Structure 1
Amino acid sequence: MTLVDSRAGIVACMHHALALHGGCATDADLWPLIGAPLHDNLAQFLPADQVDAAAADYRAAYLTDAVPITTAMPGAADLIAAIHRRGGRVVVVSAKVEPAIHAVLDHVGLRPDEVVGSLFAEGKATALVEHGATAYVGDHAGDMRAARAAGIPGIGVTTGPHDGATLRAAGASAVVSSLDQVLPAVEQQAQES
């Protein structure tokens, strides 16, 4: 829930995939897992031999069922535009597979400069370094661990499953409640460096 609000679609597709394979979970069970790798999440509710098939079912349903109900987070387009006006680049690094990332971003009309998928937590650091990121904005503790591993400020936004205390404990340099507070937080971090 950093640039897009995909919560309803993710939860619906998780319910769908779990049901096809004899698993079940509540919305409350699933909400804290959003942002983590799909296979890890499914493995919490299904036997190991069902996870790959459930992941395939989830991904098929995601493109047809979740993408159409995904919306841009308030301020996402403005944040991207402001970064571009300042001569910066926007790189989206996500645990989602790249086709799903592109489908969602295209649906909501957001245009980052680069998209990298299938990475989580410290695994995202390689892409952040490779693309010359100077800060990383995320809603998950794994995002803050990625920023720390990349040696850049992690700006936690509390629009996702983790609260400010969790994001700080994971290494956030700053925590904000909305995307319109991101650039001031990044500028503050730069002044303190």
Structure 2
Amino acid sequence: MYDAVYDADRLVVGFDLDMTLVDSRQGIVDCMQRTLRTRGVTATEQQLWPLIGAPLLDNLALFLPDDQVEDAATDYRADYLVQAIEVTVLLPGARDLVDAIHAAGGKVLVVSAKNPAAVQAVLEHVGITPDIVVGDLFGHDKAGPLSEHHATAYIGDHSGDMHAAGTAGVRAVGVTTGPTDAAALLAAGADVVVDDLAELVPRLADLAAGAPAAK
């Protein structure tokens, strides 16, 4: 039903991963707490929740001396692949939206701050197969692959995702499944904010249109 309406060359939708496509909160918090605890630091879920989606090294540096951050990141990444993948689940509407984009003849691009090995492991676990996957990028740096792959929209739960979309000149779509609320997403440049991805399934034409002319 979508092929007659959408141009496959125009519909290229980028997604953030954590708290946009997948609910990874439990795994991230548990692994961060274990990594910090082995270094004598206690962090609560309330402290860690707002940090989800930001670069790992930056998050660890909030709790640890500089000379411990790299080793802690190595430990976290190893622990994540063992402990966190199985507790990660798709967020509501994620599969429906990805399937609708593919049914329309469009492409799905995942651009995440998470390291590539973890991104691939999470996607394989939840059964999502994007056309392009890029890891280790955050905020404005995500604009590079969005431009390179001619994305028409970028969907994310973090203010940094909205900044990336704005830098790339693509439609910025915020989703409130992460730690950032609608007001903050709009303030960061979101063209539209939804509560879950299912709301976007009937709006593929908007995602294919690119950024609004007035943006």
Q: Quickly name the TM-score band, shorter chain normalised.
A: over 0.9
CA distance in 1, matches of 2:85, 2:51: 19
SS class of match (1:90) = strand
Query: 2:10 corresponds to which residue?
Result: none
SS class of match (1:137) = strand
Identical-pair percentage: 58
Aligned with 2:55 (options 24, 29, 37):
37
SS class of match (2:174) = strand
Query: 1:126 corresponds to which residue?
Result: 144
Query: 2:176 corresponds to which residue?
Result: 158
CA distance in 2, matches of 1:157, 1:185: 14
CA distance in 1, matches of 2:172, 2:204: 9
Any gaps of 5 or more consecutive residues in structure 2?
Answer: 1-18
CA distance in 2, matches of 1:188, 1:83: 12
Q: How many aligned positions are there? A: 193
**Which one has more relative contact order, counting CA pairs under 8 Å at least 6 apart?**
2
Any gaps of 5 or more consecutive residues in structure 1?
Answer: none
Tell me by how many angstroms 1:131 deviates: 1.0
Q: Once superposed, which parts of structure 1, at least 4 consecutive aligned residues long, lie more than 6 Å away?
A: none
TM-score, normalised via structure 1 length: 0.96
TM-score, normalised via structure 2 length: 0.86
Aligned with 1:172 (options 163, 169, 190):
190
Query: 1:21 corresponds to which residue?
Result: 39
Q: Confirm or deny that 1:75 pairs with 2:93.
A: yes
**TM-align CA RMSD:** 1.4
